[in-house]
């Protein structure tokens, strides 16, 4: 079944959201800190290059997003621009690119929120010190 380019682009931007969410969660969030620490150790201390690269995949959001994308392409059958195997390849790289764009935006947003919280905490501490002096 062929779909319009507009529908394909909608799918592209929507499918990139769960890809980004899963890739970010596994590679950055606290819930996966222990497995990620194990993978980091195996990545640094692995005996073979294959072992080191395999465990690196679980610590890099860009690398991991390729595998999450492949899973989503398998689950959905999404193809981009061409309705054969080439559509899968195009969709793979386009989805990874959009997902990593989303993760970059999310990273910047979190950084700004953290900066604001730190600034507020410093202001609160300064106000407390000034009240003590009065």
Q: Which tens digits make up the pLDDT trace of 19-68?
A: 999 999 999 889 999 999 999 999 999 999 999 999 998 888 899 999 99
Q: Domain range spanning residue 80? A: 5-103
Task: Count structural domains, the chain.
Answer: 1
CA–CA dist 95, 112 (Å, integer): 26
- 23 lies in some domain: yes
- 21 lies in some domain: yes
pTM of the model: 0.77
- 70 lies in some domain: yes
Task: Please tell me the predicted confidence (pLDDT) of residue 114.
Answer: 84
* Contact predicate 92/66, CB 8 Å: yes
CA–CA dist 12, 31 (Å, integer): 28
Task: Please tell me the predicted confidence (pLDDT) of residue 2.
Answer: 61
Q: What is the pLDDT of residues 68-119, one digit of tens each?
A: 999 999 999 999 999 999 999 999 999 999 999 999 999 898 888 888 888 8
- 120 lies in some domain: no
CA–CA dist 64, 27 (Å, integer): 8
Residue among 77, 81, 100, 99 at smallest CA distance from 90: 81
Task: Please tell me the predicted confidence (pLDDT) of residue 113.
Answer: 85
């Amino acid at each position: 079944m062929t779909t319009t380019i507009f529908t394909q682009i909608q799918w592209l931007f929507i499918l990139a959201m769960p890809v980004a969410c899963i890739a970010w969660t596994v590679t950055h969030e606290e819930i996966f800190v222990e497995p990620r620490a194990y993978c980091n150790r195996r990545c640094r201390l692995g005996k073979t290059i294959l072992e080191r690269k395999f465990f690196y995949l679980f610590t890099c959001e860009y690398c991991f997003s390729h595998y999450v994308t492949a899973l989503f392409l398998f689950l959905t059958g999404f193809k981009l621009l061409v309705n054969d195997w080439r559509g899968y390849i195009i969709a793979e790289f386009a989805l990874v690119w959009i997902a990593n764009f989303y993760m970059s935006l999310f990273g910047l947003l979190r950084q700004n929120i953290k900066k604001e919280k730190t600034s507020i905490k410093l202001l609160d501490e300064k106000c407390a010190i000034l009240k003590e002096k009065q």
